Amino acid sequence: SATNGAGAGAAEMVRKKMGSFVGFANLPNQVHRKSVRRGFQFVTMVVGDSGLGKSTLINTLFEHKLYDLNAPRSLANGSSLNGNANGRTIAIESKSADIEENGVRLKLTVVDTPGFGDFVNNDEAWKPIVDNIDSRFDAYLEQENRVNRSKLMDNRVHACIYFIQPTGHSLRPIDIEFMRKLHHKVNLIPVIAKADTLTDDEVVAFKQRVSIFQAFNKVHQRVIVAYFLLSPSTQILNDIAHNQISIFQPPIYDLEDEETIAENEEIQSKVPFAVVGSDTFVTTADGRQVRGRSYPWGTIEVDNEAHCDFIKLRQMLIHTHMEELREYTNDVLYEQYRTQKLLSMGVSQDPSVFKEINPAVKQAEERQLHEAKLTKMEAEMKMVFQQKVQEKESKLKQSEEELYARHREMKDALEKQRYELEERKRRLESGRPPTPDKIGSVSA
Ligand code: GTP
């Protein structure tokens, strides 16, 4: 038993090894079987200048001819977006393939973004790419809002391989701009393309120049924040010093297994990965058949860690951290997007109850409240007005009565005076002296 048998008292956890086999140790196998049955979906995006070897690297990574590198390439297939000031087209191309390894099925989708950076005006070259990432989040959100959510197609971008030109100098402003626009939305994995065009020393120096100052991201505890620092002579140093660009790297904290920590540290030390792509086999000087590129002076082997970082990239992307990339996309990147989207649509989140307010209903409610307020004010004003009118009327009535009474008084007084005068007149005529005091009694 895991409790101390105290009944309603606080339960005390006791770690106990089972004496006999109950069966819950089989849970991981159950999860494994279920996942295998369902299959996996993984979407990776490749971003970089045209001709940097994006398609070649994808074919090399998945050992699958997703791109026919010999065929003339069409610019747009599937979703394409117009959007450059000089009228040229940035075409976003997405390709899927169902691949299987040891009975595990993977639906791999590659989102290719050919040709960016080739235009005279590259100001907003990142926009179609960001829009594409957003529209994939939107499509997922729309599925989540459906009544039946049993079959969710996860077409969100789980990783974005960013190809840096092997210039040997430093990052270009357009690279920084791109990464800044993308890093909140995708797991960024920067690679130095066509690393065979640089010597070993040049690769080391280039990596240092594009050096990454690592610090843990306190908020998410997963991605490492990288500051891409340019050489001090570079004009834009000050501009980007404050630009934190989050890139994906295998985590090394919270791990107990020494071997995994060492393995992840080894992968981290290679970032940005200097890669060479080739999906064709060549024969080395010692007669081995390898994937690589042959030159008059020798052969560059793709799958040789002494020649390039391809192995480490593939290990991280596919072998050890594909699930981590999918999880981070779902738990953090998509969650951030979803929260912002719903808030902008007027859906508010109460800590205790999730309360959805349709903007139209909210507006109607506000209008009703406003109208009720107006009606109340109108009624109050009417009441005050009637009260005032009544007061005025009663005042007028009162003063009318007063006037009437005064009028009667004056009339009586005048009448009295008239009798008096007539009495005097009669007395004078009859020769008797007037008796003013008796006028009242005479007239009576
Ligand atoms: P777009 O689709 O036009 O953007 O090109 P991309 O980036 O997909 O490049 P792609 O894979 O078509 O490769 C362009 C050229 O570069 C081809 O001739 C490849 O053989 C060559 N290439 C690809 N990878 C490498 C590499 O690692 N090193 C060298 N030296 N050449 C490469």
User: In sequence order, what DSSP letters do the residues of 154-178 get, joined into one string?
Assistant: --S--EEEEEEP--SS---HHHHHH
pLDDT confidence of residue 168 = 72
Distance from the CA of 136 to the center of ligand 1, in angstroms? 27
Distance from the CA of 74 to the center of ligand 1, in angstroms? 15
User: If you search the block for the tokens 């007037």, which residue do you land on?
Assistant: 434
How far is Cα 88 from Cα 114, in angstroms, rounded to an integer? 12
CATH superfamily placement of domain 28-354: P-loop containing nucleotide triphosphate hydrolases (3.40.50.300)
Determine contact, residues 191/164, Cβ cutoff 8 Å: yes
40 forms beta bridges with: 106
pLDDT confidence of residue 443 = 44
How far is Cα 87 from Cα 420, in angstroms, rounded to an integer? 118
**Mean pLDDT for the stretch of residues 139-156:** 86
Determine contact, residues 157/44, Cβ cutoff 8 Å: yes
pLDDT confidence of residue 161 = 94
225 forms beta bridges with: 215, 246
219 HSE (CA, 13 A, CB side): 8
Burial category of 272 from C-beta neighbours within 10 Å (exposed 0-12, middle 13-18, buried 19 and up): buried
Determine if ligand 1 sits within 6 Å of the CB of residue 304: no
Distance from the CA of 191 to the center of ligand 1, in angstroms? 14
Determine if ligand 1 sits within 6 Å of the CB of residue 276: yes
For 169-208, write each residue's pLDDT tens digit: 777 778 888 888 888 899 988 888 898 888 788 887 777 6
Distance from the CA of 129 to the center of ligand 1, in angstroms? 20
Distance from the CA of 54 to the center of ligand 1, in angstroms? 6
Backbone angles phi, psi at 431, to 5 degrees: 80, 5
Residue nearest to atom 28 of ligand 1 (CA): 194
Distance from the CA of 245 to the center of ligand 1, in angstroms? 26
Distance from the CA of 51 to the center of ligand 1, in angstroms? 5
Counting atoms of ligand 1 from 1, which one is nearest the CA of 48?
7
**Mean pLDDT for the stretch of residues 434-444:** 50
Residue 171: Cβ within 10 Å count: 25
- In eight-state DSSP terms, residue 82 is E
Determine if ligand 1 sits within 6 Å of the CB of residue 51: yes
Counting atoms of ligand 1 from 1, which one is nearest the CA of 276?
27
Determine if ligand 1 sits within 6 Å of the CB of residue 95: no
Residue nearest to atom 26 of ligand 1 (CA): 194
Q: Is the peptide bond before 272 cis (omega within 30 degrees of 0)?
A: yes
Cα-to-chain-centroid distance, residue 53: 31
Looking at residue 425, its amino acid is: K
Determine contact, residues 126/185, Cβ cutoff 8 Å: no
89 forms beta bridges with: 82
For 402-415, write each residue's pLDDT tens digit: 999 999 999 999 99
User: If you search the block for the tokens 């960013």, which residue do you land on?
Assistant: 162
Residue nearest to atom 16 of ligand 1 (CA): 53
Taking 60 as the threshold, does the pLDDT of residue 284 lie above it?
yes
Taking 70 as the threshold, does the pLDDT of residue 76 lie above it?
no
Counting atoms of ligand 1 from 1, which one is nearest the CA of 73?
2
How far is Cα 444 from Cα 436, in angstroms, rounded to an integer? 14
Taking 80 as the threshold, does the pLDDT of residue 438 lie above it?
no
How far is Cα 168 from Cα 150, in angstroms, rounded to an integer? 49
Angle at 232 between CA 231 and CA 238, to 5 degrees: 105
- pLDDT band of residue 419 (cuts 50, 70, 90) is very high
Residue nearest to atom 30 of ligand 1 (CA): 194
Residue nearest to atom 14 of ligand 1 (CA): 51
Determine the residue of 56, 88, 162, 191 to mutate for testing ligand 1's pocket, defined as the one with the most ligand atoms within 8 A of the Cβ atom: 56
Cα-to-chain-centroid distance, residue 356: 18
Distance from the CA of 374 to the center of ligand 1, in angstroms? 70
Residue nearest to atom 29 of ligand 1 (CA): 194
For 19-57, write each residue's pLDDT tens digit: 777 778 888 888 888 888 888 889 999 988 888 888 888
Determine if ligand 1 sits within 6 Å of the CB of residue 114: yes
Query: Which of the pair, 227 or 180, is modelled with greater confidence?
Result: 180
Best mean pLDDT range from 17-26, 43-52, 98-107, 362-371: 43-52
Determine if ligand 1 sits within 6 Å of the CB of residue 279: no
Q: Are strands 188-192 and 159-164 parallel, antiparallel or unpaired?
A: parallel
Angle at 429 between CA 423 and CA 431, to 5 degrees: 100
Residue nearest to atom 24 of ligand 1 (CA): 53
Residue nearest to atom 5 of ligand 1 (CA): 51
The H or E element spanning position 214 is strand 212-216
Determine contact, residues 270/312, Cβ cutoff 8 Å: yes
Determine if ligand 1 sits within 6 Å of the CB of residue 77: no
Tokens of 440: 């009242």
Residue nearest to atom 21 of ligand 1 (CA): 53
- pLDDT band of residue 3 (cuts 50, 70, 90) is very low
Which DSSP string do the residues of 20-38 spell out, in sequence order? S--SGGGHHHHHHHHHHHH
- In eight-state DSSP terms, residue 152 is -
Determine if ligand 1 sits within 6 Å of the CB of residue 221: no
Taking 50 as the threshold, does the pLDDT of residue 114 lie above it?
yes
- What's the predicted TM-score (pTM) here? 0.67
How far is Cα 127 from Cα 130, in angstroms, rounded to an integer? 5
Distance from the CA of 50 to the center of ligand 1, in angstroms? 8
Determine the residue of 52, 94, 95, 311 to mutate for testing ligand 1's pocket, defined as the one with the most ligand atoms within 8 A of the Cβ atom: 52
DSSP helix/strand/coil, 105: strand
Counting atoms of ligand 1 from 1, which one is nearest the CA of 197?
30
How far is Cα 169 from Cα 205, in angstroms, rounded to an integer? 9
3-state secondary structure 247-300: ECCCCCCCCCCHHHHHHHHHHHHCCCEECCCCCCEEECCCCCEEEEEEECCEEE
Query: Which of the pair, 314 or 229, is modelled with greater confidence?
Result: 314
Cα-to-chain-centroid distance, residue 132: 14
